[in-house]
Amino acid sequence: MQKNIYELIERMAALIRSEERKKCTELGIQAVHFQVLDYLSRCNKYSDAPAAVALYLGMTRGTVSQSLIILEKKGMIKKMADSADKRKVHVSLLPAGMEMLEKAKPTTLFADAAVELEHSSPELINEEGFVMALTALQKANKSQSFGMCATCKNFTRTEQGFYCQLTKEALTQSDSEKICQEHQVP
């Protein structure tokens, strides 16, 4: 059973990556650049550093650094020094990066597959099963979970809004809906 599940996950990932590569080739960007843009569109303020991008994508810091240089030259991202610690760098998407990301997303493949699944087996559409599989893979890999902020054990709702117990900082609604590298499973 383990081998079969592995092969299914691997095949799904290969199909998605193949579709990404096709779109990226059409648009004249590399797949790694798409992956960086995609991650930056989904990460919060604790996870927008080059090291976090490398960790999330499972790439070397050098590969990510070169990708960031190219994306910055193309006007798709900007790097900013941290206001409290000038040694830290934050990376954010610019409108051109967001536009490229939207053009490069392989939305039709997944949308078509979802329609097929809904028609043939609506009972199989269960996000919880995929979350459990991802969590198990991350644990087996001893990697950080990079989960959504609002699902972290350190996330707290207060009368004033949202708060992170780990960083002791207030969080915005937007932060709570994005990926955080400090995520800890409850």
Residue 176 lies in a domain: no
Residue 180 lies in a domain: no
Residue 96 lies in a domain: yes
Q: CA-CA distance, 181 to 44, in Å (whole number)?
A: 9
Residue 90 lies in a domain: yes
Query: How far is C-alpha 56 from the chain's CA centre?
Result: 7
Q: What percent of the chain has pLDDT over 90?
A: 46
Residue 88 lies in a domain: yes
Structure tokens that stand for 69 in this block: 């240089």
Which residue's entry shows tokens 């760098």? Answer: 89
Query: Residue 61 in contact with residue 67, Cβ under 8 Å?
Result: no
Residue 85 lies in a domain: yes
Domain tally, the chain: 1
Residue 145 lies in a domain: no
Helix (H, G, I), strand (E, B) or coil at 58: coil
What's the predicted TM-score (pTM) here? 0.81
Whole-number average pLDDT of the chain: 86
DSSP classification of residue 30: -
Residue 101 sits in which domain range? 2-125
Q: What is the pLDDT of residue 123?
A: 67
Residue 105 lies in a domain: yes
Which of these ranges, 86-90, 120-124, 165-169, has the smallest mean pLDDT?
120-124
pLDDT tens sequence across 96-143: 999 999 998 877 777 777 777 777 766 666 667 766 776 676 677 666
Return the CATH number at 22.
Answer: 1.10.10.10
Q: CA-CA distance, 43 to 181, in Å (whole number)?
A: 8
